[in-house]
Amino acid sequence: MLLAVAVVAVWGTNFTVIKVALDDLPPLFFATLRFSFAFFPAVLFLPKPNVPLRSLAAWGVLIGVGQFGLLYIAMRNDISPGLASLVLQTQVFFTIGLSMALAGERVRLYQGVALALGVAGIALIAIRTDGTTTVLGLALALVAAFSWACGNMVSKSAGSVNMLAFVVWASVFALPPLMLGALVFDGPSDIETGVRAAGVGTWLAVAWQSAGNTMFGYGAWSWLLSRHPAATITPMALLVPVFGFAASAVWLDEPLQAWKLIAAALVMAGLAINLLVPRLSRSVFSPGPVPVQAAKSEPRP
Tens digit of pLDDT for each residue in 6-28?
888 898 888 888 988 998 999 99
Per-residue pLDDT at 120: 85
Per-residue pLDDT at 286: 55
Residue boundaries of the structural domains of the chain? 2-279
CA distances from 43 to 11, 29, 153, 210, 237 (A): 23, 21, 23, 13, 28
DSSP 50: S
- Report the sign of the C-alpha dihedral through residues 110, 115, 116, 118, in that order: positive
Per-residue pLDDT at 248: 84
Tens digit of pLDDT for each residue in 123-151?
877 777 666 778 899 899 999 999 988 88
Does residue 247 contact residue 15 with C-beta atoms inside 8 Å? yes
Per-residue pLDDT at 293: 52
Per-residue pLDDT at 74: 93
Per-residue pLDDT at 182: 94
- Residue count (the chain): 301
Per-residue pLDDT at 236: 74
Alpha helices, DSSP H only, in the chain? Answer: 2-22, 27-39, 53-61, 70-77, 81-87, 91-103, 109-127, 135-157, 163-181, 188-197, 200-207, 219-227, 230-233, 240-252, 258-285
Chunked mean pLDDT (size 10), the chain, 301 residues: 86 88 93 91 88 91 92 90 84 78 72 81 76 84 91 78 85 94 92 91 88 79 70 70 84 80 83 75 58 50 50
For the entire predicted model, the pTM comes to 0.80
